[in-house]
Structure 1
Amino acid sequence: MGALSGALLVATPVIDSGPFLRSVVFVLDHDEDGSLGVIVNRPLDSDVEDVLPEWADLVNAPVCLFDGGPVGIDSALALGVVTDIVPPDGWQQMTGRVGLVDLDGPLPPGGSLAGLRVFAGYAGWGPQQLEAEIEEGAWLVVEAREGDLISPQPETLWRDVLRRQDDDVRFWATFPDDPSAN
């Protein structure tokens, strides 16, 4: 795992359109070959029950699929936050209590997960691409909190994460949805 693995990428106003507009991305992997993450604040209209019915009872609210990003949108991956020291089978640690959950494996026993999110697709960057985007000011790199990944109000996450920052970037949370109408 690289230096950015386990961090959040928060889209800045430099990104003014497309799939990453006001997105919050959890970085799953970052190394010399590139970066991989999932957008954690884009709930979809699709219910987990419709796609992976056996997992629906384990997913926390909102119980829907999330748009993980523009790559591999026909595949699903899941992030789970474990509750105890002994993780369930099929859970692969990413950072702290956060890890990938094998959706083809056995269902984790009740109470072993504090939260679970299922994502359709993911975000990917080639070698040095993410670093270049960070340098041009498109992304703010901040510490991830477990609660960010399973927030019951993902639609407010972009502003919530910005507001908790210690420096002036917290004021980006007040950036209007349409700056041209200002």
Structure 2
Amino acid sequence: MGTLSRLVAVSPSSDAPALTVDRARPDDFPRIGQLTSDVYVGGGLASPEYGVQLRDVAGRADRAQLLVVRDDEGRVVGSVALVLSGDFGEVTRSGDEAAFRMLVVDPAVQGRGIGELLVRTCLERARAAGKRRVVLSTDRRMTAAQRLYQRLGFTRLPERDWRPAPGIDLLVYALDL
């Protein structure tokens, strides 16, 4: 898989295995869909209507690189869709920009660096693809994610905030590579 898939997160326990990021396989799609829907819809961060799109992993696999982190038993515990081209990013404005969407970490393993590992992998892959900026949108309620983005150097682009549907206000963040 090359060096880009070799980014690892240090586990909080010295006897726990290091985590790595891999490309998702089709047999991962049901787990990714369920996990994403459970966290977003079940956590009150998205509407049940949006849950249909969150569960459509095969649909986004055609438009993005699906990246996953697995636990030591091979079960997907985190996922993100990295958009290097096309319209799936929804917040990209030029070919110089990449985006990522639907970042999710299983609540049972949050706080172990999985989200950060996925974001850093997206940044490295975007850089390797010649992108100059990574942009993302996030719901105002996703404060933990926003803290992660800010810690990694993302800044707000309020002029690009958007509303995909009435009552859904998304904040845009960007990081120049």
Structure (1/2) with the larger helix percentage: 2
Shorter-chain TM-score bucket reads: under 0.3
TM, length-normalised to structure 2: 0.27
Kindly name which structure, 1 or 2, has the bigger radius of gyration based on alpha carbons.
1
1 or 2 for the larger relative contact order (CA 8 Å, sep ≥6)? 1
